[in-house]
Each structure stands twice: as structure tokens, then as C-alpha cells.
Amino acid sequence: MSPAGLHLVTDGRLRLDRLLIVVDAAVRAGAAVVQVRGKEASARELTETVVAVSQVVDDRAAVLVNDRLDVALAARHGGARVDGVHLGQDDLDPVVARHLLGRDALIGWTAHRDAHLRALASLPEGTVDYLGVGLVRPTTSKADGPPVLGVGGFGSFALSTELPCIAIGGVRVTDVPDLAAVGAAGVAVVTAVADAPDPGAAAGGFVDALGALR
């Protein structure tokens, strides 16, 4: 299972019915991964959202749970197809996630500092499948996020690892060529799709831009 392509990260501000419309439109347009994120949601609420998203996505894209390994496991227990997790530096150890989710799961890890690369090097081979690297630009969806790297900083980080790197943080469709040129395997977006008047067209713009560079 490849992490390359467009990652849609769901916006926890959206009502579930609207969120599912956005997810369906993005997947129809060719999004490769849907990361379900709900920073303010309870475990029960987020599990219900993951189950609903999994049903909408079906087998058209990978479904990951952002941050919450417990929710990924609960949704799987409830019959949802959950392909893996994307974990932050303060979340549960990716080694634990690999053990509990299995070798075929897709596991991403947020990384943006040299210390994160050193931590990555200490993990057993095959623990993490890809890195989420940013911020590329300031973004309101991660107000407490890491420092802004810019395209150049992203590229320097991507050159330091053999793992695929997904660019995140205020990414615009016009950034895709420059990000791909410095090593991005894909991009992750939230508001660029969720807030667009036509989410499908917005997602399709990213998918087309990434496809044109392959």
C-alpha cells in the first residue's frame, strides 16, 4: 500500500453529513488517502466518524486515523476497514501501532526536526511507512503546529530520509510542482479541499498536479 498522492485530512469542524460529502468528492477525484482527524472529539464520536468514513470510502482509498491508535482499533473491531494510522511525536509509539495493527497496515509519522530523524533511525526497520513533514506554510488548521519549513526546508528534510515524505501545512495546488521537485511523494490538505466551494474540483486539482509530475 503506497502513501503517495493526495491525503485528505478531515476537518473536525464539519458536521458529519458535510464531512462525508467532502470525503466522497475527494475520493471520487482520486485522493489516495483519507486521514480522519478529530482533535476535539471523544473516542466514541471519533470511532463513529471513522466507521462512517470507511463506509463512504469503501475500497477507493486508504483510510487512516490521525493520532488515535485506540480509535483505529475500536473502528476495526466494529467492522470498519481501517488501513492504519498517522501518529504525531506525542502519540503512542509507532512500534506499538505496528504490533497491534499488523505488518500490512499503513503507518505514518509526523517529523520535522533532526531529533525526529534520530528517533526514526532507532526504530525497527519497517515500523513507519512514510513521514508527514511540515509546515510548508502557516495554516489555521494547525495553529499550535511546528515552525514553518517552507518548500526549501521541506526539501532538505526529505533528502535526509529514504522514507516517502508527504508535505503538509497550508499547501496550495501551485506549490505541488516545487514540492515534487524537492522530493515530496504527496501532499496532505485540510481546508484547501474542505473549505472549497467544490471540494471535488479542489481535490482533483491536486490529484492532476501530482499526476502530471509522475
Would you say 161 is a known binding-site residue? no
pLDDT surpassing 80 at residue 212: no
Q: What is the pLDDT of residue 141?
A: 65
**Cell numbers at 43, concatenated:** 473516542
CB 150 within 8 A of CB 132: no
Q: What is the pLDDT of residue 146?
A: 77
Residue among 40, 30, 32 nearest 67 (CA): 40
CATH number of the domain located at residue range(s) 5-212 in this protein? 3.20.20.70
Would you say 211 is a known binding-site residue? no
Q: What is the pLDDT of residue 145?
A: 65
What is the torsional sign of CA 170, 172, 175, 179? positive
pLDDT surpassing 60 at residue 171: yes
Would you say 172 is a known binding-site residue? no
CA 95 to CA 123: how far, in whole Å? 7
pLDDT digits (tens, 9 = 90+) for 66-86: 999 999 999 999 999 999 999
Would you say 89 is a known binding-site residue? no
Would you say 141 is a known binding-site residue? yes
Domain boundaries, the chain: 5-212
Would you say 134 is a known binding-site residue? no
Would you say 122 is a known binding-site residue? no
pLDDT digits (tens, 9 = 90+) for 8-58: 999 999 999 999 999 999 999 999 999 999 999 999 999 999 999 999 999
pLDDT digits (tens, 9 = 90+) for 179-206: 999 999 999 999 999 999 999 999 999 9
Q: What is the pLDDT of residue 214?
A: 64
Would you say 139 is a known binding-site residue? yes
- What mean pLDDT comes out for the span 160-173? 96
pLDDT band at 136 (very low <50, low <70, confident <90, very high): very high
CA max distance for the chain: 44
Would you say 140 is a known binding-site residue? yes
Would you say 58 is a known binding-site residue? no
Would you say 28 is a known binding-site residue? no
CA 48 to CA 56: how far, in whole Å? 13
CA distances from 91 to 24, 59, 88, 145, 205 (A): 28, 27, 5, 15, 32
Would you say 207 is a known binding-site residue? no
